[in-house]
Structure 1
Amino acid sequence: MTVVAPPAERQATPRTRRSPRTLLLGLAAVLFGMLVWTLLSLAGVQSLPNPPQVAAKAGQLIADGTLLQDALASLRRVLLGFALGTLLAVPVGFLMGWYPTARALLEPYVQFFRTIPPLALIPLAVVLLGIGEVPKIFVIFLAAFLSSVVATLQGVVDVDRTLINAARVLGASDRTIFLKVVIPASTPFILVGMRVGLGSAWGTLVAAELIAATQGLGYRMQQAQLYYDLPTIFVGLITIGVLGLAMDRLLLLAERRLTGWQERR
């Protein structure tokens, strides 16, 4: 008799087999990047610092607490802006996707502001909100919101009509259809939108910290630029990349947990 493994087991096996290979490929990519970086610095490309110089600078900034303070300040701004943007984007996206009237009223504004880079709103944010933390968080919030709201809207719009019609035939109410069909089916879109929004939030951070900041990775990099301190700039870039990558991996883990029913390659 042939024993057929449950779907979860059939999916888990390939993932387990691919995991070591994926880790090795990732490690090889990092080592290759370090090699290219070292060769470019040895070739004297624009006075590019080599990895040991950057590591020494990172050790110095860690020892005096500067890097930790800057990283925490930037992380706080990104988390606040990203969280606020996502919390508002998801219900607005559901509203626009579920109700055509709401979509007709709100979509022109969403699409209009999507064409305006959040960085272009910094002067307006300074005039209206001052030079404290609020304008910094606002531009990060806007970057995260616009990415997430469009993804949520698309997720609701792309829900298979067959599922909705089948639920109606079985007597499900609109509330039940929304909770049991629309939300689960649009969850992958929402999580992808969150990942894109997180990238936009980190991408906006450096410019946001132009607004009268005294701490932050972007602020430190701008100060280093004035003194042509390339190792400090590299430390800031690498720190932003590592923090952003770690947060993205957490979102990816949440995506796999929440959308385990979804077929993956």
Structure 2
Amino acid sequence: MFAQKAAKPGEAFGAPGQGSAKTIATATVITLFLLWFVVTATGLVKPLFLPSPKAVFDKFILVSTVGFGGSTLLEHTTTSLSRVFGAFALACIFAIPIGILMGVSRVARGLFDPPIEFYRPLPPLAYLPLVIIWFGIGEFSKVYLIFLAIFAPLAIAARSGVRSVSIEQIHAAYSMGATRIQVITQVILKAAVPEIFTGMRIGIGVGWTTLVASEMVAATRGLGYMVLSASEFLASDVVIMGIIVIGFFAFIFDLLMRYLERVLVPWKGKV
């Protein structure tokens, strides 16, 4: 008899394949858009609460060309992107090494784990006043607030990835003559990379949610500032447009991270 091709983990339990999942996702988006169009066209919901897709699109064109709050949509977007991804880059530089140290060293875990676990559940709005008092209302305080929000989940993910390595793998590497540095780089770090990618995806999501909080104080430009300013004037079309733009960039970055994970971590789910 010919050997059958092994089924993927999801398919083994009757779950749809990747192509079917994309088809379902596309159908879901189209259905939601049509539902939005029907609800607004029939007048079931007033435009103040839910503007029509055409009204949101018209506002998108208007803000892109004329602007809102003294800046165009491109200027608002570039400002927010620089804040989020600047904070994300800093978090990756500091959180990943600290998380790895926490995973391999009891001393590092004892030093960093208590403060991280203490502030991790706190909403950014809780320590926003302290950040303003300590660092003022300039650009640094906005980036630092987003950095703190991303730092905790990323460090914990790196620590979790390191701790997920079984002791048998480490002993096997040592028995084959590997040094401590080789065990850390070739065994521990490789095993931790999938968890680190997951932490990066979670962290950037938290960063986008913190963006609005960071742009609440003394901001004159940014997507969060635009959404908050529009809400004060009950401009729901601008609010929804800003939400869609933020969601678009967050989704594109998540797709990029998934692609990099498939390229850089081809062994994930296979070992």
Normalized against structure 1, the TM-score is what? 0.90
Which runs of structure 2 are paired with 1:153-168 in the superposition (5 Å)? 153-168=159-174
Structure 2 CA distance for aligned equivalents of residues 84 and 151 of structure 1: 16
Which 4+ residue blocks in structure 1 deviate beyond 6 angstroms?
1-5
> Counterparts of 1:115 and 1:22 in 2: how far apart (Å)?
33
Letter in 2 for 1:222: L
2:196: which partner in 1? 190
Q: Matches of 2:61 and 2:26 in 1, distance apart?
A: 22
What is the CA–CA distance in structure 2 between the aligned matches of 1:76 and 1:52, rounded to whole Å? 30
CA distance in 2, matches of 1:64, 1:98: 54
Contact 1:93 1:150 in 2 (8 A): yes
Which of 118, 131, 139 matches 1:112?
118
Count of paired positions: 257
Separation in 2, partners of 1:249, 1:84: 21
Per-residue CA shift, 1:129-156, capped at 9, x if unaligned?
1111001000100011011001111111
2:50 corresponds to? 48
Distance in 1 (CA, whole Å) between partners of 2:38 and 2:118 is: 45
Name 2:29's counterpart in structure 1.
Answer: 30
Matching residue's letter, 2:36: W
What root-mean-square deviation, in Å, do the aligned CA atoms of Structure 1 and Structure 2 show? 2.1
Q: Equivalents in 2 of 1:19, 1:115: separation in Å?
A: 34
Amino acid aligned to 2:142: K
TM-score for the superposition, normalised by structure 2: 0.89
- Runs (5+) with no aligned partner, structure 1: none
Corresponding position: 1:133 with 2:132? no
Question: 1:239 matched to which residue of 2?
Answer: 245
Could you tell me how far 1:38 is from its partner in structure 2? 2.4
Q: Distance in 2 between matches of 1:38 and 1:108?
A: 49
In 2, the alpha carbon distance for the partners of 1:175 and 1:238 equals: 46
Native 8 Å contact 1:118 1:139 kept in 2: yes
- Post-superposition Cα deviations, 1:189-223, rounded to whole Å, max 9, x if no partner, equal 00000000000000100110012111001111111
Deviates more, 1:19-28 or 1:196-205: 19-28
Contact persistence 2:149–2:210 (CA under 8 A) = yes
1:19 Cα deviation (Å)? Answer: 4.9
Q: CA deviation at 1:158?
A: 1.1
Structure 2 residue ranges without an equivalent (≥5): none
Distance 2:49 2:119 in 1: 40
Partner residue in 1 for 2:76: 70
> What SS does the corresponding residue of 2:177 show, helix, strand or coil?
coil
- Residue in 2 aligned with 1:249? 255
